[in-house]
Amino acid sequence: MTRTLDVSGLVINRAGLPVVRGVSLSAQKGQISVLLGANGAGKTTLLEGLSGIIPTSGGDIALNGRSVTAARAGERARAGLSHVEQGRTVFRQLSTEENLLVGMAPGADLADAYDLFPELLNRRGVRAGLLSGGEQQMLVIARSLLTRPEVILIDEMSAGLAPVVVQRLMAAVRRLADAGLAILLVEQFAALALRIADHAYVMRRGELVHDGPPQPLLADPDRLHHLYLGDVQAA
Ligand SMILES: Nc1ncnc2c1ncn2[C@@H]1O[C@H](COP(=O)(O)OP(=O)(O)OP(=O)(O)O)[C@@H](O)[C@H]1O
């Protein structure tokens, strides 16, 4: 079976230093792959390299079996790759609905956004800058959906949000996967993310140190902790 997103041996340098060092991973239709790791492990850099925001120095990125490594960000987006960046980047002066309409793909249906997040319906006329953090996060995920992607890369959607809101977002992301999207989710709330995930990766210092099912990590927090930090004495 062709994986929707297939990454092999990816290398990304930042300020001349290798920050992503030979990472191979995939995201499959109907599945959530969670990418965990300590601060500075290289997760955000990896997502930025995948969507084409920053250049990569080695390896290959394929979408539905076709290499997009040489393609620019816009071309990757048109090929079905959407990136929900860290920081909830809404157009603050535009209304919620105007934010959804910006960049909507031909054939996309606004109703799908409100179906995923009915919370946004009552807020459709409100300036996005006035929405709560949770509502803004819903808005950027819904906006991504309206580009009609096949893969969504989601970076730290839970940062700074109340647990009840995080659970709401997690449920929505699960729903997107169940509807057939491939999701690669970078997350600090490891336990919550592992509970909705189909596959788990852990990254440490630019390399993957776990590639497998989420259950063993959920069942053994010490192991997860060790994967994050490595052998501290040997470091
Ligand atoms: N623009 C940049 N220029 C130089 N180095 C950078 C830049 N952005 C990130 N780095 C470095 O790359 C490494 C990986 O950072 P990155 O933000 O990808 O990690 P992360 O796993 O996403 O961490 P966090 O959870 O803190 O966001 C860090 O050492 C960081 O200092």
User: What CATH number did the domain enclosing 86 receive?
Assistant: 3.40.50.300
Closest atom of ligand 1 to 41 CA is 21
How many residues make up the chain in this entry? Answer: 235
Is 158 domain-assigned? yes
Angle at 183 between CA 178 and CA 185, to 5 degrees: 125
Asked if residue 4 lies in contact with residue 65, where contact means CB atoms within 8 angstroms, the answer is no
Closest atom of ligand 1 to 47 CA is 18
Is 150 domain-assigned? yes
- Number of domains the chain contains: 1
Is 235 domain-assigned? no
Is 105 domain-assigned? yes
In tens digits, what is the pLDDT along the chain, a chain of 235 residues? Answer: 568 999 999 999 999 999 999 999 999 999 999 999 999 999 999 999 999 999 999 999 999 999 999 999 999 999 999 999 999 999 999 999 999 999 899 999 999 999 999 999 999 999 999 999 999 999 999 999 999 999 999 999 999 999 999 999 999 999 999 999 999 999 999 999 999 999 999 999 999 999 999 999 999 989 998 888 876 544 3
Structure tokens at 39: 């601060």
CA of residue 231 to ligand 1 center, whole Å: 21
Q: How far apart are CA 124 and CA 114, in angstroms?
A: 9
| Mutation probe of ligand 1 site: the residue of 10, 12, 19 with most atoms within 8 A of C-beta | 19
Residue 3 is predicted with a pLDDT of 80
Is 209 domain-assigned? yes
Q: Whose CA is nearest to atom 1 of ligand 1?
A: 14
CA of residue 142 to ligand 1 center, whole Å: 26
Asked if residue 186 lies in contact with residue 43, where contact means CB atoms within 8 angstroms, the answer is yes
CA of residue 35 to ligand 1 center, whole Å: 15
Lining ligand 1 with CB less than 6 A are: 14-15, 19, 37, 39-45
CA of residue 30 to ligand 1 center, whole Å: 29
| Mutation probe of ligand 1 site: the residue of 13, 17, 43, 53 with most atoms within 8 A of C-beta | 43
| Mutation probe of ligand 1 site: the residue of 14, 34, 156, 204 with most atoms within 8 A of C-beta | 14
Is 164 domain-assigned? yes
Whole-angstrom Cα Rg for the chain: 17
Residue appearing with tokens 């993310």: 193
The burial of 27, by beta-carbon neighbours within 10 Å (0-12 exposed, 13-18 middle, 19 or more buried), is given as buried
CA of residue 46 to ligand 1 center, whole Å: 9
CB within 8 Å of 46: residues ≥ 6 apart: 10, 12, 20, 23, 35, 203
The burial of 160, by beta-carbon neighbours within 10 Å (0-12 exposed, 13-18 middle, 19 or more buried), is given as exposed
Is 29 domain-assigned? yes
Is 63 domain-assigned? yes
Residue 228 is predicted with a pLDDT of 86
Closest atom of ligand 1 to 188 CA is 25
Domain ranges, residue 81:
5-229
